[in-house]
Structure 1
């Protein structure tokens, strides 16, 4: 009985072709998604959020980091503000932790004015809100940094920082 073995003229070329064909499938990563993209309510976690904004509700924005995409924020008083994305970055955005995180910067269409307990987001007109995620004692948080001034913030140390708030994201 004769056994047939097939010999390929270019075995290395076939192996390379097979790895190229399956490479992108194996290397594909998950789509980036953040809590502020969902339409939902966030309860205050920090005392500043509790006494100034109360719970906030975001209308959601599925277009992460797409400049010009819009979302609405509703504060505990019922006041609303339109937010327009100016993009996202991976920098230091948390005022407590020096680590870099992904954050999205939004421009406010107008300052919401007086909120809870006759407080405002800033001493002057709030212009930008920056959303990022963090952890505190195992609790997932939505962090919000508020900036005044006309220049878009680049990180937590940018001029115009006037408030930081934390909300439960669990």
Structure 2
């Protein structure tokens, strides 16, 4: 299964019925997380953190995990970066106000959960800017806001100075594709 390029309005992106389960998506990405230097314990703690944040904050667990894979490949020791607005972002979800542990692996559940909670709260804020409904359309639009802070409703691949393929990439991840599928593009 190759990587598909999606663009246009949210309606041009795949429906939730095509998304894999959280377990399927997570299992497909375990080897990539381990290749970052994560320990097996780190990977297990990411699972725990995603489930807890999904329940506590009210965000789809598959979406949380796919943001993690897009932003950090699940690398708990990823450093901080700067968003298009010049603000520092860090942690598994590269979110503002998230703790970061550059170069460190073998983190505690509390440290990993803090990163996932910060990113999930940020994404929930994007959902609330829209209509806060758990639909594919709202999620895709909120993903554009998460990445760029702006949204062109007619083209979610308009990066507004951020990553143009961000929403498309996560749509692929939600369907069970991984980074190794990127080289095998489908039209």
TM-score (norm 1): 0.29
Higher helix share: 2
Higher strand share: 1
Higher RCO (C-alpha under 8 Å, 6+ residues apart): 2
TM-score, reference length from structure 2 = 0.27
